[in-house]
Structure 1
Amino acid sequence: MENTADQHPGSLPRLAADAWRLTESVPRAVLGIAGPPGTGKSTLARALVERLGAGAAYLPLDGFHLSNGQLARLGLTARKGSEPSFDVGGYVALLRRVLDDRAHDIYVPDYDRTLHEPVAARHRVAPEARLVVTEGNYLACDLPGWRAAHGLLGECWYIDSPAEVREQRLVERQLAGGRTPAEAADWVATNDGPNGELVETSRERCGRILSTIGMDMFNSRQ
């Protein structure tokens, strides 16, 4: 897929208008936002949905984290957030339902950073929603399951940011989750870092590349 680097993507209204164009020829479209951990995917996705109002809905991949119990069963506790720690089949099934069923409310799970567990039905795709914005690390990865997810997206945007900025955000996230500074640094180095390296291989499969330099623009109401 040919992509365009957009280091200065402009204001939130422009991005929202570009996203809304996906709905011009279809009853409902899905915009995917991919990128390494800590780049601001959820910040942008939520801002777009808020800007577009009732015509848009939010669907985070993080709702498809396996539970801590399942991670322990699979030996993935230390790799929580890695590609195999998600229910990609469930995620693809929900994307298909979102595109096929425009007559009913569709409830969407999320991840709770206080409980450290996925929770059901936190978000809702209402019948009037024309654009669903989904975000997650692996949406553009050329891997089993994720290829199917990528194929359901009207477009996939990739968000990038400097490695040092991502690392600082990720350490702060782990500190807020209750880890000590040493534990937070180790988690980022041994888990978030390798996850980000995998995601970076999917960059060329995205049609648009955005920089999070000047991330405050995503909160703009201009």
Structure 2
Amino acid sequence: MYVDDAVALVPSMPGRRVLLGVAGAPAAGKSTLARSLVDGVNARLGADTAVHVPMDGFHLSNVQLDRLGLRDRKGAPETFDVDGYVHLLRRLRATQGRTVYAPDFDRALDEPVAAGIAVPADARLVVTEGNYLADDGPGWHEVRDLLDELWFLETERAVREERLLVRHVTGGRTEDEARAFIEASERPNALRVEATRSAATRVLRLSDGTR
């Protein structure tokens, strides 16, 4: 789904690169959509034509969150290295002729992993996804102008929060702890993200179980 639209964005000329952003509230299904787009583009146009670079690689480490007193707000805008993310997007737009390395996020560890993703020099489409790609807060307001297109993935709140509950319980929280975290952090974050919908190029609504 939507692979045709992603293929249409890929530049025909070597040496050019397009950045496609996918925004949406927590657990809307952004990562699954991004991976399916990348896999679909590469199946049609060749390996490494497209690469998935999630914003989640710029989560602050748990050590830094503890130092800042933000561990219980993990996932909020202030718990990311937005300047690092913006710098990476600029490098991806400007760098040609060599590989660019980007951080990834390990959900099992609940930590970012440095240089976990390689963007080959000849990659022509980068699909990046995250909550705050359309946000107008400090630092975040620079992201939108670095993207060629921004899609917003809209998913019903009940569906998202059920996914979040499973995610947090699987990650080690009790069900009560997970529900409390969703109410205190994930839900306010989602409301902030949903308020940025109008800044997107297009709004997608999936009903196929995308996670």
Measured in 2, the distance between the counterparts of 1:16 and 1:127 equals 22
Q: Single out whichever of 207-216 and 22-31 deviates more from structure 2.
A: 22-31
Deviations 1:91-132 (A, max 9, x none): 000000011012111111111111111101111110111000
- Residues 1:48 and 2:41 aligned together: no
Give the structure 2 partner of residue 33 of structure 1. Answer: 22
| RMSD (CA atoms) | 1.4
| 1:114-161 superposed Cα distances (whole Å, 9 cap, x missing partner) | 111110111111011100000000000111211111110000000011
CA contact (8 A) 2:11 2:124 kept: no
TM superposition shift of 1:52: 1.3
Secondary structure of residue in 1 paired with 2:115: strand
Deviation larger for 41-50 or 139-148: 139-148
Look up the equivalent residue of 1:204 and give its one-letter code: S
Aligned residue identity for 1:29: V
Matching residue of 2:116: 122
Match of 2:4 among 17, 23, 27: 17
CA distance in 1, matches of 2:203, 2:105: 26
Identify unmatched segments of 5+ residues in structure 1.
1-11
- The correspondence for 1:188, drawn from 170, 182, 197, is 182
> Does 2:209 align with 1:215?
yes
Are 2:113 and 1:88 aligned?
Answer: no
- Find the counterpart in structure 2 of residue 164 from structure 1: 158
**Number of residue pairs aligned between Structure 1 and Structure 2:** 204
Q: SS at the partner of 2:105? A: strand
- Does the aligned pair in 1 maintain the 2:104–2:114 contact within 8 Å? yes
8 A contact 1:64–1:88 mirrored in 2: yes
Alpha-carbon distance, 1:25 to partner: 7.4
* 8 Å contact kept, 1:41–1:135: yes
Where 1:32 maps in the other structure, the secondary structure is strand
Q: TM-score, normalization: structure 1?
A: 0.88
Question: Could you tell me the percent identity over the aligned residues?
Answer: 48
Query: 1:111 & 1:23 partners in 2: Cα distance?
Result: 26
User: How many angstroms apart in 2 are the aligned matches of 1:91 and 1:108?
Assistant: 9
How far apart in 1 are the matches of 2:53 and 2:152? 16
Deviations 1:168-211 (A, max 9, x none): 00000001101111111111111110100110110000011011
Question: What is the rounded CA distance, in whole Å, between the counterparts of 1:25 and 1:91 in structure 2?
Answer: 27
Q: Unpaired segments of 5 or more residues in structure 2?
A: 43-47
List 4+ stretches of structure 1 deviating above 4 A.
none
- Once residues 87 and 17 of structure 1 are traced to their aligned partners in structure 2, the CA distance between those partners, rounded to angstroms, is 33
In the aligned structure 1, how far is the partner of 2:77 from the partner of 2:4?
31
Q: Secondary structure at the match of 1:121?
A: strand
Quick check: 1:144 aligned with 2:138?
yes
Separation in 2, partners of 1:115, 1:87: 18
Q: Matched residue of 1:215: which SS?
A: coil
Q: What is the identity, as a one-letter code, of the residue corresponding to 1:21?
A: A
SS in 1 for 2:37: helix
Cα distance change on mapping 1:215 and 1:208 into 2, 3 Å: farther
